[in-house]
Amino acid sequence: MKVKKYSLLGSVIMSSVLILGACGDKEEVSEAPDKETAQSEFGFQSFDLDIDTVDQKDAVDASFDIDVSETEAEYTNQIESKKLSGDEAYAELEPIFKELALTKDMSKEEVIEKVTKAFGVEDYKEFELEIEFSDGDTQEFSDIK
């Protein structure tokens, strides 16, 4: 009877280890630059975008967050049938972020125009963006048509 107990216990422990090992943070980016490099390239350390169109709620969702210990990225573009996370999302977002060249002294209209153009959704119904710039200043931009 003791042998069965231990083999059952061993199986449970082994299964738990395998399940937990498979549960990684899939939004985490392993190929991202360090915080200083990303801040100098993009001008921000956090970017959270949500764009709705008349035909599609959450047509574009993009999030990027670089922290001391990790970088996370997610990108969903339902217009282009893309749903990416981690390194794939970062690879897609990096050239867009470099092109944006957003600064905290830009007007709301200028930020919205640049972002909607860069993400290919100039005809939007609702626009929401929150950015934390390199100096820690957080700004929110929103518009409803």
Total residues belonging to the chain: 145
- Per-residue pLDDT tens digits for 7-33: 444 444 444 333 333 344 555 666 655
- Per-residue pLDDT tens digits for 50-84: 999 999 999 999 999 988 778 899 999 999 999 99
- Would you say residue 119 has pLDDT above 90? yes
In whole angstroms, give the CA distance from residue 60 to residue 86.
Answer: 17
Partners of 84 in the β-ladder: 75
- CA dist 61 to 11, 78, 82, 92, Å? 41, 9, 10, 13
Q: Residue 98's closest CA among 58, 41, 54?
A: 41
Q: Sheet containing 126-133: which strands, arranged edge to edge? A: 82-85, 71-77, 60-66, 44-52, 126-133, 138-144
